[in-house]
């Protein structure tokens, strides 16, 4: 499900509770929006659902170091890389 752009963090949490997805992915296109990715991690933890879903981050300024720093499970460098890593993580 594509939630769209400029989505409030609470929407990510609500959708995880409602839809119970295997993966929640977010993309940041500017360094100023990368903070939302760490907020997703934190709010999923606060809601008690972080352990029920894998998180993936990507976007132009995002790196593997950033993903490691915020505790994301998967980093996708490109769309193809993201698909391959999700398939591997879900053993599809």
Domain boundary assignment for the chain: 9-90
At residue 34, the pLDDT reads 97
For 79, residues 6+ apart whose C-beta sits below 8 A from its C-beta are: none
User: In whole angstroms, what is the distance from residue 79 CA to residue 85 CA?
Assistant: 10
Q: Work out the pLDDT band at 68, boundaries 50, 70, 90.
A: very high
The dotted CATH code for 9-90 is 3.40.50.280
Closest-CA residue to 55 (of 14, 9, 88, 86): 86
pLDDT digits (tens, 9 = 90+) for 16-54: 999 999 999 999 999 999 999 999 999 999 999 999 999
User: In whole angstroms, what is the distance from residue 13 CA to residue 45 CA?
Assistant: 9
């Amino acid at each position: 499900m594509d939630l769209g752009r400029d989505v409030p963090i609470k929407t990510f949490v609500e959708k995880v509770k409602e839809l119970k997805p295997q993966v929640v992915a977010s993309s940041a296109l500017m360094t100023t929006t990368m903070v939302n990715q760490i907020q997703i991690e934190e709010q999923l933890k606060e809601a008690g659902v972080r352990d029920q879903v894998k998180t993936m981050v990507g976007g132009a300024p995002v790196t593997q170091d950033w993903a490691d720093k915020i505790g994301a499970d998967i980093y996708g460098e490109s769309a193809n890389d993201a698909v391959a890593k999700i398939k591997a993580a879900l053993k599809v």
